């Protein structure tokens, strides 16, 4: 059964039966924050094609006449920058003629947005394939899958471009078993860089440290895509992506695969993955050929790949941030507030703030006293605004509206009514997020109005463990009080720098 046999309810999607000249929309097969993907029938050539629509839901909505309308005029610059990146990416992909690269048939502008028509492939993403066929993923399978994928990446590099968004969700495994490298996500990157909230969407664990740098264009190269490819292999082998590169820059807790001695995998493959995941760009293979040599890969493996064994009409290649529950082994997305320069990060450990999209705002409150610096930062669990905030251990919290009184005793008129025992409060959600917050000496922190006893460690960061929910941070210091809002909906690591 195809993974899209069940109809999807995607907001702002065009209705089934809508026509683009000879193309008729038959099915919505993907949708997310930056676009919508349809299966369409080409009446002229009598075949299925896939159509990707540029639809950034945070910036625009669909009107009754099916055109896109900006949510606010202030989004105009960001929307049109993303639209231009979408069109340029379509033109770029149309230039390539590689069997393992997404093949663009045509693109056009309509409904005040743009569309990309591509070949319609059957299969599923590498992430779904690994989840559904874990027994098929071993070193032999990886060695058969890699050569055509490396060839696709090398074709991009030789043309003078980088992919910058390689992940399990951006690699399609066709029903024949052949891998297809998907779109670059250029529009998403452009919107992240230019949005009013200064958001940048990256894939934690897959994005190398130089992608967080202000000078990313000069510091990025083939080694940037090689790091992401190493993260893909790490996930296939271990079931989880490597630690987030930004966190590794504070304390590199990456455990080399060679040291783990994973059964069924050769030292050559494991050491090549370790080299690809080196934190510093200069320590990684500098080209796809160098990476292939480390694993002793042939240019093309003659043995056919294992088939995904899927039926049905298939799925569109281009993944569009599907709204689904992400398994623990899948990559999680986080929002990074401001980018920072790599040299300063490596040398001094300075990080950017990870936020949910709202800028810091200055207040007028002045701090009253300074705190004494210590060498460790205790972890503190904080409840979100939609959950009761846990009181200190010495002052247990009494649940509101839960105390009931027993009926008065008739034999003793002066006796006070007995009280039933207070019901036990339901435990708060288990923490799912690790939040690092950069603090200066003497600064005070409140989370959802509750003071937190946070003291920065020697690296300048304090630690919080938070459950799902919305949080408002208020940081008071000599320069006043600043506020920042953070929404946590899934497991991950957030880094907060209120001084950026």
CA atoms within 13 A on the CB side of 306: 15
Q: How far apart are CA 11 and CA 281, in angstroms?
A: 40
The strand order across the sheet containing 469-477 reads: 361-362, 480-488, 469-477, 444-447, 450-452
Q: How far apart are CA 316 and CA 118, in angstroms?
A: 9
Beta-carbon contacts of residue 279 (< 8 Å; ≥ 6 apart): 209, 245, 248, 249, 252, 254
SS3 268: helix
The DSSP-derived string for 385-408 is TTSPPPPPTTSPPPPTT---BPPP
Q: How far apart are CA 384 and CA 138, in angstroms?
A: 42
Q: 380-382 and 461-466 as β-strands: parallel, antiparallel, unpaired?
A: parallel
Q: How far apart are CA 210 and CA 193, in angstroms?
A: 15
β-strand partners of 462: 437
SS3 227: helix
Token pair of 211 as six digits: 């992608």
Place of tokens 């003793």: 412
Q: How far apart are CA 387 and CA 378, in angstroms?
A: 22
Q: Residue positions in the annotated binding site?
A: 52
β-strand partners of 335: 201
Q: Residue positions in the annotated binding site for ATP?
A: 52
SS3 72: coil
Residues 36, 10: contact at Cβ < 8 Å?
yes
Q: How far apart are CA 104 and CA 285, in angstroms?
A: 30
Q: How far apart are CA 126 and CA 231, in angstroms?
A: 13
**In Å, how far from its chain's centre is CA 335?**
8
């Amino acid at each position: 059964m195809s993974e899209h046999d069940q109809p999807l309810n995607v907001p702002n999607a065009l209705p089934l039966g809508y026509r683009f000249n000879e193309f008729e929309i038959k099915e919505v097969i993907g949708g997310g924050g930056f676009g919508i993907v349809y299966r369409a029938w080409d009446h002229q050539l009598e075949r299925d094609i896939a159509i990707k629509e540029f639809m950034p839901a945070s910036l625009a909505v669909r009107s009754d006449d099916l055109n896109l309308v900006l949510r606010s005029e202030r989004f105009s610059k960001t929307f049109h920058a993303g639209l231009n990146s979408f069109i340029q990416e379509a033109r770029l992909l149309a230039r390539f003629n590689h069997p393992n690269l997404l093949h663009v048939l045509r693109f056009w502008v309509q409904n005040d947005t743009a569309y990309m028509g591509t070949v319609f492939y059957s299969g599923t993403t590498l992430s779904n394939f690994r989840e559904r066929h874990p027994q098929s993923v071993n070193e032999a399978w990886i060695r058969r899958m890699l050569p055509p994928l490396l060839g696709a990446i090398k074709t991009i590099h030789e043309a003078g471009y980088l992919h910058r968004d390689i992940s399990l969700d951006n690699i399609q495994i066709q029903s024949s078993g052949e891998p297809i490298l998907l779109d670059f996500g250029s529009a998403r990157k452009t919107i992240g860089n230019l949005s009013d909230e200064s958001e940048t969407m990256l894939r934690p664990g897959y994005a190398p440290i130089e992608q967080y740098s202000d000078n990313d264009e000069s510091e990025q190269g083939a080694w940037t895509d090689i790091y992401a490819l190493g993260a893909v292999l790490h996930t296939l082998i271990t079931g989880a992506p490597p630690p987030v590169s930004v966190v590794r820059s504070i304390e590199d807790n990456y455990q080399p695969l060679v040291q783990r001695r994973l059964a069924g995998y050769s030292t050559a493959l494991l050491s090549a993955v370790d080299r690809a995941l080196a934190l510093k760009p200069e320590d990684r293979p500098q080209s796809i050929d160098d990476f292939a040599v480390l694993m002793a890969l042939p240019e093309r493996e003659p043995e056919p790949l294992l088939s995904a064994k899927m039926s049905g009409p298939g799925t569109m290649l281009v993944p569009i941030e599907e709204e689904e529950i992400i398994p623990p082994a899948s990559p999680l997305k986080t929002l990074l507030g401001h980018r920072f320069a790599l040299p300063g990060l490596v040398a001094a450990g300075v990080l950017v703030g990870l936020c949910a999209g709202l800028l810091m705002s200055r207040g007028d409150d002045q701090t009253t006293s300074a705190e004494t610096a210590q060498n460790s930062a205790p972890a503190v669990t904080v409840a979100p605004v939609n959950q009761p905030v846990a009181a200190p251990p010495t002052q247990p919290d009494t649940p509101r509206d839960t105390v009931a009184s027993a009926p008065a005793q008739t034999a003793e008129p002066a006796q006070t009514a007995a009280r039933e025992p207070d019901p036990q409060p339901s435990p708060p959600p288990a923490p799912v997020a690790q939040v690092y917050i950069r603090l200066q000496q003497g600064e005070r922190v409140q989370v959802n109005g509750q003071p937190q006893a946070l003291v920065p460690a020697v690296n300048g960061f304090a630690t919080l463990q938070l459950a799902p929910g919305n949080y408002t941070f208020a940081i008071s210091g000599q320069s006043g009080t600043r506020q920042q809002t953070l929404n946590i909906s899934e497991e991950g690591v957030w880094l907060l720098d209120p001084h950026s």
